[in-house]
């Protein structure tokens, strides 16, 4: 039974130590809090003003970065708009060049068609004149042949 009492005493001693440590920690924290300077102390006021200045400088840097990002975005949008306008102008120039080329090709085709029609007309005229000459020659040859035939018959 003696062993049990010693064991119990050991546990109680440990609990007492923990209670004392807790009380000392609370007292130390309270002493630390009381040792802090008052809110109107010049050191505290200076530290607070320094913190406010740092925060203001941070906000200013954030605002500057935001303005720089917005400026870059605007420059990018302007550059992209200029590139789009240049592409559209290039397309318009290409379309105008293609239209002009089509117009020239149409004019050349019309000229070629007129020349072909003129050549066909001249060929038809020459062909009809050649036919008329051939018919006239055939008629003349027939008349000569008929005259020779009639002269031969008259001699008999």
Percent of the chain at pLDDT > 90 equals 63
Confidence label for 7 from pLDDT (cuts 50, 70 and 90): low
SS3 93: helix
- Is residue 38 over pLDDT 90? no
Span 100-114, average pLDDT? 95
Rg of the Cα trace of the chain? 61
Is the per-residue pLDDT at 118 higher than 80? yes
Residue 6: predicted pLDDT: 52
Largest CA distance in the chain: 192
Give the whole-angstrom CA distance, residue 16 versus residue 69. Answer: 63
The residue written with tokens 């379309």 in the block is 95
CA-to-CA distance for 125 and 57, rounded, in angstroms?
101
User: DSSP assignment, residue 36?
Assistant: S
Domain boundary assignment for the chain: 1-36, 38-129
pLDDT tens-digit readout, 45-84: 999 999 999 999 999 999 999 999 999 999 999 999 999 9
Where are any strands of DSSP class E within 20-107?
Answer: none
Average pLDDT, the chain: 89
Rounded to whole angstroms, how far apart are CA atoms 12 and 20? 12
pLDDT band at residue 1 using 50, 70 and 90 as cut-offs: very low
């Amino acid at each position: 039974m003696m062993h049990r009492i010693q064991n119990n005493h050991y546990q109680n001693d440990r609990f007492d130590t923990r209670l004392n440590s807790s009380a000392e920690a609370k007292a130390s924290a309270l002493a630390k809090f009381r040792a802090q300077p008052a809110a109107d102390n010049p050191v505290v006021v200076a530290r607070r003003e320094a913190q406010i200045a740092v925060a203001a400088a941070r906000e200013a840097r954030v605002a500057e970065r935001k303005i720089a990002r917005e400026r870059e975005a605007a420059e990018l949008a302007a550059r992209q708009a200029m590139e789009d306008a240049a592409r559209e102008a290039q397309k318009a120039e290409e379309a105008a060049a293609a239209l002009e080329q089509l117009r020239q090709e149409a004019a050349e085709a019309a000229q070629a068609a007129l020349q072909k029609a003129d050549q066909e007309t001249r060929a038809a005229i020459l062909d009809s004149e050649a036919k008329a000459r051939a018919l006239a020659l055939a008629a003349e040859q027939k008349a000569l042949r008929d005259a020779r035939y009639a002269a031969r018959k008259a001699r008999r």
